[in-house]
Amino acid sequence: MGAGHGGALTARYVGGTTRVHRLEPHVKLVAVLAFALVVVATPVHAAWAPAAYAGYLVVVLAVAAVARVRPGRLARGLVVELPFVAFALLLPFVTAGPRVEVLGLAVSRSGLETGGGLLAKATLSVLAATVLAVTTEPRALLRGLQRLRLPAVLVQILMFMIRYADVVTGELQRMRVARESRGFRARGAAGLRVLGATAGSLFVRSYERGERVHLAMLSRGYDGHLRTGPAAAVRPRAWATALTLPVAAAAVLTAGFVLG
């Protein structure tokens, strides 16, 4: 985190020049959101649902391959859903309804379907969102959200957060080094007091920095609006490329409804 260029928010981003990297950020955001919507719309109790999940998986892995996202990175992205894996694994045992035998255990059929469905849907969406995060710089994502008409105040707050997250986490990192070089080990109530003071002074420093930034901006003519240049026109080809992901997923879903 101490490295100049990396940082807390760019932890996921990996630079590249693939077709996925070059797409406009708001186009990618729409594509990933649409993909998630298609995945969520899949009925869990349909007999063909597992086949549809497999189809989506092929689609999203193909996009990841085009973007040259390493499998390890995709797998690391999945760590966030661990608490829900536990929940999904419990479902077959606690849900009411007719039972089926799986590996010698009597589990609820409906619980198995819904638990599996939840797990599959969450995993697929996280994979797609991980491809987005790996191929898009935080600042580019901010521009994308701006073009998608996120309110101007939220865009500005996000901009300051993205700009200063590295500064603030760097400050935290230096405080940690200072603490530990003085022999601090977080233990018990005394540790809580010390870490509380750390977070407290981190807040004071962040807030005061915000005040200084505001004054510096005022002295440069800030009036509550940030001027950005005209947005570049998006080629229809870019939309066509990006929407391949949700359209392919929608094709899988439609095939499921028609054939299943």
Partner 1 sequence: MHVPDGFLDPATSVATGALAVGVVALAIRRAERELDDRAAPLAGLTAAFVFAAQMINFPVAGGTSGHLIGAVLTAVLVGPWTAILCMTVVLLVQAVLFADGGLTALGTNVTLMAVVSVVLGYGVFRLLTAVLPRTRGGLLAAAATAAFLSVPAAALAFVALFAVGGVAGVPLGAVAAAMGGVHLLIGVGEAAITVAVLGAVLAVRPDLVHGATHLHQAAPLQSRAEPVGAGITR
Q: Which of residues 37-76 bind partner 1 (CB under 8 A)?
A: 37, 39-41
Of these, 27, 29, 60, 249, which contacts partner 1 (CB under 8 A)? 29
Minimum Å gap between C-beta 19 and partner 1 is 20
Query: For partner 1, which stretch binds (CB under 8 A), given 60-68, 162-170, 231-239, 248-256?
Result: 162-170
**Does the protein bind partner 1 through residue 244 (CB under 8 A)?**
no
Q: Select from 2, 6, 71, 200 the one that contacts partner 1 (CB under 8 A).
A: 200
Residue 164 near partner 1 by CB under 8 A: yes
CB 29 within 8 A of CB 245: no
Q: Does 2 bind partner 1 (CB under 8 A)?
A: no
Count of residues of this chain found to bind partner 1 when the rule CB under 8 A is applied: 86
CA dist list (Å): 105 to 66, 92, 109, 118, 127: 41, 10, 12, 21, 31
Task: Say if CB 78 and CB 61 are below 8 A apart.
Answer: no
Read off the tokens for 112. 């198995």
Residues 109-148 that bind partner 1 (CB under 8 A): 110-111, 114, 117-118, 121-122, 124-126, 129-130, 132-133, 138, 141, 145
- HSE, CB side, 13 Å, CA atoms: give it for residue 12: 18
Binding-site member from 206, 238, 247, 255 for partner 1 (CB under 8 A): 206
Element holding 42 (H helix, E strand):
none
DSSP class per residue in 70-139: -HHHHHHHGGGGHHHHHHHHHHHHH--S-EEEETTEEEEHHHHHHHHHHHHHHHHHHHHHHHHHHHS-HH
Based on CB atoms, which residue is closest to partner 1, 47 or 80?
A: 80
Q: Which of 32, 31, 18 is nearest to 240 (CA)?
A: 31
Cβ atoms 69, 134 nearer than 8 A? yes
The verdict on 36 binding partner 1 (CB under 8 A) reads yes
Residue 192 binding partner 1, by CB under 8 A: yes
**Element counts in the chain: helices (H) and strands (E):** 11, 2
Specify the stretch interacting with partner 1 by CB under 8 A; choose among 60-68, 156-164, 233-241, 242-250.
156-164
Beta-carbon neighbour count of residue 105 at 10 Å? 10
Among 46, 51, 172, 255, binds partner 1 (CB under 8 A): 172
From 154-162, 230-238, 242-250, 251-259, span contacting partner 1 (CB under 8 A) = 154-162
Kindly state the smallest distance separating residue 156's Cβ from partner 1, in Å: 4
Nearer to partner 1, 226 or 251 (CB): 226
